[in-house]
Amino acid sequence: VEIGERSNNEIAIDVGKMCLGEYGRQEGELLFLRRAPLKRQEVWRREGVAPRGVDREIVEIMHRTHIGVDQDYKSLLRQGVRAAIGDGWGGSMIATELQDILFGTPTPILGRANLGVLEKDQVNIIIHGHEPLLSEMIVAAAQDPEMVELAKSKGASGINLSGMCCTANEILMRHGVPIAGNFLQQELAITTGAVDAMVVDVQCIFQSVATVAECYHTKIITTSPKAKIPGAMHIEFDEHNAMASARAIVKTAIDNFPNRGSNIEIPEEQTYQIAGFSHETINYLLGGVYRASYRPLNDNIINGRIRGVAGVVGCNNARVQHNYGHIEMVKELIKNDVAVVTTGCNAIACAEAGLLLPEAAAKYAGEGLASVCETVGIPPVLHMGSCVDNSRILMAAAAMVKDGGLGDDISDLPVAGAAPEWMSEKAISIGQYFVASGVYTVFGVNWPTLGSDEVTDYLFKDF
């Protein structure tokens, strides 16, 4: 894109068109594949799994799985890899970059987490889902003095926003908005009786939230034409009139405040956390303004103070004890001098367990990792964002290779990935693009191929 004397808006239009073009691309390779180490790019090309376009690979795998098309599980798995790489090094990475351009690259910020962030005397609005355009505008509308005065006229002392799931991570990192909880806490939030509106967009919304809300005064407000729920109120979010849509949503929550019942029970539990560790921020914290790099991390792996880095990410799963797999795995890793980066619901679990504070290093980490954390002034577990921001972890791994000393490919690094409580389909894609990028990856709870010994053996031994 030519810069010259052009305005930011003119440049932005061209960048946007190029990014959209990556989704519709039919030939060649995705441009962002060039960010991967050269050796990894060669692997993808040799194996024939370099994505030609984000949408093309999805359409192809959907066609292959139609009845009577691709009947070879090896062929299906290979195309699945191609689509997954298009997710991680394509769609997700593009989304992360554009969000940072629009709303700002996250930097370290203090926040709070757990249901104790709800306020008894304020209008409580929970934003739940995954689309940052909606949440950014709700944040802006809730801070509007006119909206605050309206809330006070209804008997509230103000407006209290909190987030849930990946939207929570987005508005925490950029605005310090507290997190009410992760995936398995959405019904619990409603049962406090203090939530005046739960505003949802797409992904990870319980089918049951509208049913639970019928027992309380809470309004469930859907906002996406792609994701409607029977029994919920629908206020469609119009990106072209974003503030008007956001104000209508906030006003609905305010008008509902007087309808609260008398039985409000807000748990006291809440913890502080430090979030906002983007790839760029970690680069700066390790090397400063003029020598920003991952070299200090590489050096401390080489000298043995840190044994490696693990990305622990992903969902909650109702089949296991809430957050247990996340917290115990992360504690064990940092105890053994493995630095942890985290996203999604795992990040929220770690926040609620007090692992996202610098002082957690002295309490939970091994001597080597703790000494490095104390020197740099960071927690032993770094909150890197929402699920789409797993692309930040890919960028960090690529930067470790580029800064040298540990190998020529991501597969040479002492790194690993884990999703201890996965349940969402996108978690499979995330796990697969990490494997395809050269990262040793572990999934907990269960695995969808276990019904076939032949497919499972091929996937874990030969693939």
pLDDT one-digit tens code per residue, 4-49: 899 999 999 999 999 999 999 999 999 999 999 999 999 999 999 9
- pLDDT score for 289: 83
- As a whole number, the mean pLDDT across the chain is 97
Q: Which domain holds residue 68?
A: 8-103
pLDDT surpassing 90 at residue 291: no
Looking at the structure, do residues 99 and 120 belong to the same domain, yes or no? no
- pLDDT score for 74: 96
Cβ pair 124, 194 in contact under 8 A: yes
Looking at the structure, do residues 349 and 250 belong to the same domain, yes or no? no
Looking at the structure, do residues 121 and 216 belong to the same domain, yes or no? yes
How far is 116 from 84, CA to CA, in rounded Å? 37
Name, in order, each residue with C-beta under 8 angstroms of 375's C-beta and a sequence gap of 6 or more: none
Looking at the structure, do residues 377 and 439 belong to the same domain, yes or no? yes
CA 167 to centroid of chain Cα atoms: 8
Looking at the structure, do residues 309 and 453 belong to the same domain, yes or no? yes
Burial 453-463 (b: 16+ CB within 10 A, else e): eebeeebeeee
How far is 138 from 446, CA to CA, in rounded Å? 37
The residue-averaged pLDDT of 405-418 equals 98
Looking at the structure, do residues 41 and 165 belong to the same domain, yes or no? no
- pLDDT score for 288: 87
Cβ pair 125, 117 in contact under 8 A: no
The verdict on residue 335 lying in a domain is yes
From the number of C-beta atoms within 10 Å of its C-beta (0-12, 13-18, 19+), residue 46 rates as exposed
Q: By percentage, how much of the chain surpasses pLDDT 90?
A: 97
Bridge partners for 440 per DSSP? 416
pLDDT surpassing 90 at residue 179: yes
Looking at the structure, do residues 341 and 193 belong to the same domain, yes or no? no
Looking at the structure, do residues 380 and 403 belong to the same domain, yes or no? yes
The verdict on residue 193 lying in a domain is yes
Cβ pair 40, 408 in contact under 8 A: no
Looking at the structure, do residues 301 and 360 belong to the same domain, yes or no? yes
Q: Which of residues 211, 230, 259 is at a domain's end?
A: 259
Judged by DSSP in three states, 257 sits in helix
Q: What is the pLDDT of residues 241-274, one digit of tens each?
A: 999 999 999 999 999 999 999 999 999 999 999 9
Name the pLDDT band for 279 (thresholds 50, 70, 90): very high
- State the number of CA atoms in the 13 A half-sphere of 61 facing the CB: 23
Looking at the structure, do residues 285 and 317 belong to the same domain, yes or no? yes
Place of tokens 């019928």: 214
Among 108, 105, 100, 160, smallest CA distance to 272 is for 108
Cβ pair 214, 146 in contact under 8 A: no
Name, in order, each residue with C-beta under 8 angstroms of 309's C-beta and a sequence gap of 6 or more: 297, 301, 338, 339, 340, 341, 396, 400, 413, 414, 415, 416
What is the reported pTM? 0.96
The verdict on residue 3 lying in a domain is no
How far is 329 from 349, CA to CA, in rounded Å? 11
Domain of 407, CATH number, reads 3.40.50.2030
The verdict on residue 2 lying in a domain is no
Q: What is the pLDDT of residues 418-448, one digit of tens each?
A: 999 999 999 999 999 999 999 999 999 999 9
- pLDDT score for 290: 82
The CA R_g of the chain, rounded to the nearest whole Å, is 22
Looking at the structure, do residues 300 and 255 belong to the same domain, yes or no? no
The verdict on residue 96 lying in a domain is yes
The number of distinct structural domains making up the chain is: 3
How far is 396 from 414, CA to CA, in rounded Å? 13
Q: Which of residues 224, 259, 294 is at a domain's end?
A: 259
The verdict on residue 388 lying in a domain is yes
- pLDDT score for 295: 95
pLDDT greater at residue 177 or residue 287: 177
Q: What is the pLDDT of residues 70-107, one digit of tens each?
A: 999 999 999 999 999 999 999 999 999 999 999 999 99
Looking at the structure, do residues 287 and 317 belong to the same domain, yes or no? yes
- pLDDT score for 103: 96
Cβ pair 407, 290 in contact under 8 A: no
Domain of 81, CATH number, reads 1.20.1270.30
